[in-house]
Amino acid sequence: MSLIQKSAAELGALVAAGEVSAVEVAEAHLDRIAEVEPKINAFLHVDREVTLGQARAVDERLRSGERLGPLAGVPIAHKDIFTTRDMPTTAASRILEGWRPPYDATVTRRLREAGLVILGKTNLDEFAMGSSTENSAYGPTRNPWDLDKIPGGSSGGSSAAVAAYQAPLSTGTDTGGSIRQPAAVTGIVGMKPTYGGSSRYGLIAFASSLDTPGPFARNVLDAALLHEAFSGHDPLDSTSIDAPVPSVVEAARQGDVAGLRVGVVKEFGGEGFQPGVQARFNEAVALLESLGAKVVEISCPSFATALPAYYLIAPSECSSNLARFDAMRYGLRVGDDGTRSAEEVMALTRAAGFGPEVKRRIMLGTYALSSGYYDAYYGQAQKVRTVIAREFEAAYHQVDVLISPTTPTTAFPIGERADDPMAMYLADLCTIPSNLAGNAAISVPCGLADEDGLPVGLQIMAPVLGDDRCYRVAAAVEKALESRWGGPLLKEAPAL
């Protein structure tokens, strides 16, 4: 088996044992990126010399006897929304084209401390607003399973890079489903940690009460290892939780659901769900029962209102957060010819620098926060948020985890929903409630839809700081399904 096919855990063990160097592992992945990137377009920035420099430094640290974590020497693709001192950071926006941040995000810093080697910065929907990566100012990323399909979004570059064996691991951020949905449609594992479990410092803000960094990997244990490597309290993020990281790696190694109470969310199924998605989900429910879980149906009626509430709350926060792009201190400046005022330059720059979806959301948020509309829109959405959190709370009195399909459909064709925002927003129907409540949730592959042969994801949701439960259930499902399939789902993906 070549280096690019190995898991992150295996690569870390090989590097630790001195059987292969971090440089060799990085080179193998950089070569793979060079080979398939013309088809995938997962990366916005790759710099072979910077990456090899990082790898050499890790090899040197290991040689000098420094004790690094289990992922030392393992390469990673890093979503281009985290600041990096040695690589540009653009959030896939023209307004930040070529920007070199003067500081590292906490997630970036922790990756470096753990000895991970950053291969490059991955593509995304501009400022993480979207579900297909088509909203990138630098062109769409393609799904390795079918190059005419979307890889999900907003973290679509990160999901595609892992599914295409360009990297064994990647980072993402999940505001309404931006990790779980891309993981589901590319047949990999993606985890949204509990809000506040991973630091937002140096993460370019979209909706601050929702944004959560999390891991992508080709298997559950690798995702847990990465989760543990970059999570935990950060004094630089005032919403960071000052509590130990749940024991996610141990849970991923256990993978046992005997006696566990599992709730199927009644509202997430039936009409609007692709038959092949529903079929694989129903099989996953039966599988959990056969593994000893106690499965019941749970009704969460207000979850149907999560989507509209989210599309008021997230744009409201975005309209405020993106006010920082004012053409004064960093980023693009357009129209400064000596005659125009700062305000005119600002408006010209923002019109030229932001793409259509970002403009839509800024205006929608500005509307929802306007006096006269505030109570009916933003205020009411905040109340719905409370109602949804209470429904979760009531559900978790009866069950340990909730499950649903991660997405209503498999990957859709590039272009199909690009100018139809309402259709695009439906992709996050099942993932949004966990963001509004700040809960943990994971997506794990559960098969291929019969209609199109594309991957289907199973979503496992758990209460705040119940991240370990997500991994425990996901690992059990993965183990049982891979023994049935005779290997991981990704082996069914076409060669690139």
Site for other proteins in 455-484 (CB under 8 A): 464
CA 76-232-313 angle, to 5 degrees, is: 90
Q: How far is the CB of 391 from other proteins (least distance, A)?
A: 11
- When the beta carbons of 97 and 256 are compared against other proteins, the nearer one is 97
Cβ atoms of 125 and 176 closer than 8 Å = no
Our finding on whether 367 is near other proteins (CB under 8 A) is yes
The residue from 7, 131, 132, 154 that is catalytic is 154
What is the CA 191 to chain-centroid distance, rounded?
Answer: 7
Sequential DSSP letters for 145-166: TBTTB---SSSHHHHHHHHTTS
Cα distances (angstroms) measured from residue 475 to each of 110, 386, 402, 442: 25, 31, 15, 11
Q: Which of residues 437-456 bind other proteins (CB under 8 A)?
A: 437-439
- Per CB under 8 A, 329 contacts other proteins: yes
**Residue from 268, 375, 356 nearest 312 by CA:** 375
263 phi and psi, to 5 degrees?
Answer: -105, 130
What is the token pair recorded at 15?
């590097």
Shortest distance, position 426 Cβ to other proteins, whole Å: 10
Bridge partners, 213 (sequence order): 173
Is residue 103 at the binding interface for other proteins, with CB under 8 A as the rule? yes
Q: Round to whole Å and give the CA distance between 46 and 127.
A: 19
Going by DSSP bridges, is the β-strand pair 75-79/169-174 parallel, antiparallel, or unpaired? parallel
Among 169, 287, 309, 441, binds other proteins (CB under 8 A): 309
* Least distance CB 335 / other proteins (angstroms): 8
Residue 323, Ramachandran bin (φ over 0: left; ψ between -120 and 50: alpha; else beta): alpha
2 binds other proteins (CB under 8 A): no
The answer to whether residues 152 and 146 touch, using CB atoms and an 8 Å cutoff, is no
**Only segment of 19-27, 41-49, 94-102, 183-191 that touches other proteins (CB under 8 A):** 94-102
- Out of 147, 295, 348, 480, the only residue in the binding site for other proteins (CB under 8 A) is 348
Catalytic member of 6, 79, 149, 192: 79
Please report, as residue ranges, which positions from 228 to 247 form the binding site for other proteins (by CB under 8 A).
Answer: 235, 238-239, 241
**Sole binder of other proteins in the list 121, 350, 469, 472 (CB under 8 A):** 350
Answer yes or no: 79 catalytic: yes
Please tell me whether residue 268 binds other proteins under the rule CB under 8 A. Answer: no
Residue 429: strand, helix, or coil:
coil
Pairing label, strands 261-265, 212-217: unpaired
Among 2, 64, 341, 483, binds other proteins (CB under 8 A): 341
- Toward other proteins, which CB reaches closer, 210 or 470? 210
319 labelled catalytic: no
Query: Does residue 345 belong to the site contacting other proteins (CB under 8 A)?
Result: yes
Catalytic residue among 7, 159, 178, 443: 178
Active site residue 320: no
Q: Which residues are catalytic?
A: 79, 154, 178
